[in-house]
């Protein structure tokens, strides 16, 4: 097959438009990217451009730091991420062109094989729980003071290997969505009733497709992948985090749901040990009204073509207002101390 730029010609002379997808070099990332590619193939079985080109998808495996560089250099046309991995402000020239329907957004407890049948309540005193999330640790420390919490790093496969092959951890906390995508739901021992956090681990459960903001044809193509409710929830959550200046260095939690044209949002901030917290809930209407859409307007990095602009604006305002409410009640002071303590570790 001969290729030039993003066109390819096979031995029969058939010309195809090549869409190159970038993804991280991990099993979970590849599974997530394959799911997006499959949806595009299903939605565009006979994709044709003006000269009769057919859509062909290539998936390129890259390291994380290479992804946006490759996008900037036109080496890939889109990149598939877990939305929690993307900052609330993207580099100039990039946008989130699609937010797919959210998977199970909950945290999950995965026990060491020797602890089968136990729960966090019944684990022995000073049992060690592994998590890379400050938010998870803060919430769990408050609920389970008899347990100890230690950092655990690596991709999903690496963390499970560290749990199963050593005796360092009695259990680890992972995202239920990632375990489900890997086909490892049988490892979920329990789902703790914690608030979800959008930027510190994968309880968000939503996949995002990042593209070049100037590529109108690619934006149009991936926009059909948007799940409207998930888009609005994620815009609100990202606006909340941006206003709080929350990120991986502080324990900030947010949970949203859509019910009967209302968007409900609960947000909270925590001290590192979970002893201090501020939590509030607000809601707003996202009922259909003005059906106007903004073809190229970004909100906290998201370009949601075909989703009503009025609903997007309402979601963004909700996130900002809830963050401002927490700040007015002392959230900044709690987060400042948490950030300083975390930086000193």
Examine the pLDDT at 191 and tell me if it is beyond 80: no
Q: DSSP assignment of 286-339, as one string? A: --S------TT-EETTEE-TTS-HHHHHHHHHHHHHHHHHHHHTTHHHHHHHHH
Helix (H, G, I), strand (E, B) or coil at 263: strand
Pairing of strands 148-150, 128-130: parallel
Q: Which fold has domain 107-197?
A: D-Maltodextrin-Binding Protein; domain 2 (3.40.190)
Q: Which tens digit of pLDDT belongs to each residue from 278-315?
A: 999 999 999 977 667 766 799 999 999 889 999 999 99
pTM: 0.85
Q: Which residue has 């993307």 as its token pair?
A: 86
Give CATH 3.40.190.10 domain extents, the chain: 107-197
324 given a catalytic annotation: no
Question: Do 132 and 187 contact (CB within 8 A), yes or no?
Answer: no
Question: 317: exposed, middle or buried (C-beta count within 10 Å: 0-12, 13-18, 19+)?
Answer: middle
Cα dist from 224 to 6, 107, 221, whole Å: 22, 29, 6
Q: Which tens digit of pLDDT belongs to each residue from 307-330?
A: 999 999 999 999 999 999 999 999
Q: Which tens digit of pLDDT belongs to each residue from 230-263?
A: 999 999 999 999 999 876 778 998 999 999 999 9
Cα dist from 93 to 14, 37, 172, 211, 283, whole Å: 33, 23, 38, 9, 32
Give CATH 3.30.160.40 domain extents, the chain: 6-103+202-343
Examine the pLDDT at 59 and tell me if it is beyond 70: no
Residue 64's pLDDT band, with cuts at 50, 70 and 90, is low
Q: Which of 34, 38, 77, 85 is catalytic?
A: 85
Q: Which fold has domain 6-103+202-343?
A: Double Stranded RNA Binding Domain (3.30.160)
Range scoring the smallest mean pLDDT among 146-155, 159-168, 197-206 = 197-206
Question: Do 278 and 329 contact (CB within 8 A), yes or no?
Answer: yes
């Amino acid at each position: 097959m001969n290729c030039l730029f993003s066109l390819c010609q096979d031995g029969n002379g058939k010309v195809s438009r090549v869409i190159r997808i970038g993804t991280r070099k991990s099993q979970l990332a590849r599974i997530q990217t394959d799911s997006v590619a499959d949806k595009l193939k299903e939605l565009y079985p006979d994709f044709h451009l003006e000269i009769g080109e057919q859509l062909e998808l290539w998936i390129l495996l890259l390291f994380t730091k290479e992804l946006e560089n490759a996008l900037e250099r036109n080496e890939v046309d889109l990149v598939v991420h877990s939305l929690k991995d993307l900052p609330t402000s993207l580099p100039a020239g990039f946008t989130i062109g699609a937010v797919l329907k959210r998977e199970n957004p909950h945290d999950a407890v995965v026990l060491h094989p020797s602890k089968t049948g136990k729960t966090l309540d019944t684990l022995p005193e000073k049992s060690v729980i592994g998590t890379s999330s400050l938010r998870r640790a803060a919430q769990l420390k408050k609920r389970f003071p008899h347990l100890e919490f230690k950092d655990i790093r690596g991709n999903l496969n690496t963390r499970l290997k560290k749990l199963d092959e050593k005796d360092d951890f009695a259990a680890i906390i992972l995202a239920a969505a990632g375990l489900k995508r890997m086909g490892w739901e049988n490892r979920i021992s329990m789902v703790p009733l914690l608030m979800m956090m959008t930027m510190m681990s994968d309880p968000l459960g939503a996949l995002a497709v990042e593209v070049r903001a100037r590529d109108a044809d690619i934006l149009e193509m991936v926009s059909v992948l948007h799940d409207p409710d998930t888009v609005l929830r994620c815009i609100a959550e990202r606006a909340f985090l941006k206003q709080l200046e929350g990120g991986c260095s502080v324990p900030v939690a947010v949970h949203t749901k859509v019910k009967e044209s209302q968007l409900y949002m609960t947000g909270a901030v925590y001290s590192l040990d979970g002893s201090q917290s501020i939590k509030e809930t607000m809601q707003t209407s996202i009922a259909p009204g003005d059906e106007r859409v903004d073809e190229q307007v970004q909100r906290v990095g998201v370009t949601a073509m075909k989703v009503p602009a009025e609903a997007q604006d309402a979601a963004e305002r909700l996130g900002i207002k809830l963050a401002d409410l927490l700040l007015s009640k002392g959230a900044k002071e709690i987060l400042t101390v948490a950030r300083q303590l975390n930086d000193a570790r």
